A and B are shown apart, each in its own frame.
Chain A
Amino acid sequence: MDTVFISDGRCPVAREIAAGFAAAGWRVALNLHQGGAPLAGCEEARVDLCRFDELTALFDALGDSLRGVIHPAPPVIHATLEGAGQAQWLRAREEGAIAAMELTRAAGAFLSNLGRGAIVYLGSVHAEKPLGNGFLYSMACAATQMLCREAALAYGPQGVCAYYVQRGFMAHDADNLSEYSNLYVAPDFRHPQERLMRPDELNGLMLFLMSDAAGALSGADLRADGGATMFYGKPRKEVRQL
């Protein structure tokens, strides 16, 4: 049985992905150290992602069946540049950058010894599109996007691939609406299919990226937003009403 480690059980999208892997017959280790309830069909893990030694011990315990890790971006910290405080800054640094690097180093080293595997960063379109009220989040996403490219280069010779998935807008992202950006104004109508994406729509992509067939995409950004960020201008609904 193949194993996948999903690093943050708070993320609603990651939880759907975990359920999808479990339904497909995978062994799923879901990290609940930062929070999140246990999930049926998944084993609980509790590791501090900023601790290389804890991560290494976990991977040793999961053993040779580990095929890869999926690392969701942390929750958005809503703050403006003008108003952000030191506590928010430090939390974003630890959850957004340090955690990503330590997980990458630990997973990269472990999977390199196996000669195969995948590190999938479940990021966001906000690695490139600003939010307006979440600069700490978008900065961390962009940093992780670069880490993905570096990991692909560093571990590629050992057969380990890395991918950055830019997920788009979903129902639980409504708090991202800000006065500085139009992105979250009627986001369903930015989607070519005129609806929000559902978390489970990423399951097929994640299973593919964990397979041996995805290697040609190593280092790539995969924009999985249903086409919404291609949209430029007013949402179609408003245009139709003109």
Chain B
Amino acid sequence: MMSAGTVAIVTGGGKGVGAGIARVLCAQGARVCMGYHSSEELARQTLHQIQAAGGEAFLYKADVSDRAQVQAMVAATVERYGRLDALVNNAAMQPNRLLREYDADELRWLWEINIGGYFSALQACLAYLKESKTPRVVNISSVHGKRPTVFDPGYSMTKGAIRMFTREAAIELGQYGITVNCVDLGGCRVEWKTGRFPMHLIWSRRAYHTHGQPIRVETVPEHVGHLVAYLLSPEAGNVTGAGIRLDGGAMLT
């Protein structure tokens, strides 16, 4: 179980996977800063759900590709709760463009959100994590950090980079007791999807999330939340540099 009163930042915590993570962490007693950028309405809905269930969290609007905004989000969290124990890097985009449809500027934009945001947040949190008794970093990534997509090479490039970002951070920050892991997420049912849906490349929309999947249960954000809660716990203190696939076994078939 997470230590009582764990303070965590979840970027992109207002909707989708991030909202599921925030809900689970708060349900287990953590205090969470939910970073969000667009979709303020969804972020407020998530906050109300958490508060109605007796959890403690607050919203902070920040563009993760802007270092100053990320630093301000971290400072606001520490000012509110007096400390910081965990960073869950989750905010990312997936435009679903084919390789011939990409250009340099689009990749730059995607790089600065999907990796730049993770890097800025880690650097901003580092001084506070060093003071924590259970300092943790979890990077939400994708099965497409290892398996190509066909429908979004820019996205898979950024997820491949996060694989090594996680391993490098694990060996460098281990000296401070900071564990760094990533969750390689497969298909997940969310209420919002960025980018256009790659219909022409998928078996069928109805079976999108479970076709050929050994476990015939759709992954939902709360599944991710429970895995993150474990990784944030003292019991996971020797798990670091790991990429844990969460996809119902889909990548095996």
Please state if B169 and A143 are interface contacts (CB–CB under 8 Å): no
Please state if A127 and B102 are interface contacts (CB–CB under 8 Å): no
| A109-B100, A153-B148 known; A132+B168 contact, CB < 8 A | yes
Please state if B115 and A139 are interface contacts (CB–CB under 8 Å): yes
| A147-B153, A154-B100 known; A135+B108 contact, CB < 8 A | no
Q: Which of B99, B149, B161, B172 contacts A142 (CB 8 A)?
A: B161
Please state if A146 and B164 are interface contacts (CB–CB under 8 Å): no
Q: Which of A104, A135, A150 contacts B149 (CB 8 A)?
A: A150
Please state if B107 and A101 are interface contacts (CB–CB under 8 Å): yes
B160 within 8 A of A: yes
B53 within 8 A of A: no
Please state if A108 and B99 are interface contacts (CB–CB under 8 Å): yes
Q: Which chain B positions have C-beta within 8 A of A150?
A: 99, 148-150, 153, 156-157
The stretch from B16-24, B82-90, B118-126 touching chain A is B118-126
CB distance from A19 to the nearest CB of B (A): 31
| A98-B104, A105-B102 known; A132+B165 contact, CB < 8 A | no
Please state if A139 and B164 are interface contacts (CB–CB under 8 Å): yes
Please state if A81 and B161 are interface contacts (CB–CB under 8 Å): no
Q: Which of B116, B160, B161, B172 contacts A180 (CB 8 A)?
A: B172
CB distance from B185 to the nearest CB of A (A): 16
Chain A binding surface, main DSSP class: helix
Please state if B172 and A132 are interface contacts (CB–CB under 8 Å): yes
Q: Which of A98, A109, A144 contacts B107 (CB 8 A)?
A: A98
A97 within 8 A of B: yes
13 pairs across A/B with beta carbons < 8 Å? Answer: A80-B172, A82-B126, A98-B104, A101-B102, A101-B107, A101-B153, A105-B102, A135-B172, A139-B161, A143-B158, A143-B160, A146-B159, A154-B100
Given A86-B67, A132-B172, A135-B168, 18 more pairs with CB closer than 8 A: A81-B119, A82-B123, A82-B172, A82-B173, A84-B119, A89-B119, A98-B107, A98-B108, A130-B171, A135-B164, A139-B168, A142-B163, A142-B164, A143-B160, A146-B157, A150-B156, A150-B157, A219-B148
Residues of B participating in the A interface, judged by any CB pair closer than 8 Å: 67, 98-100, 102-104, 107-108, 111-112, 115-116, 119, 122-123, 126, 144-150, 153-154, 156-165, 167-173, 241
Residues of A participating in the B interface, judged by any CB pair closer than 8 Å: 50, 52, 80-82, 84, 86, 89, 93, 97-98, 101-102, 104-105, 108-109, 126-132, 134-135, 138-147, 149-154, 180-181, 219
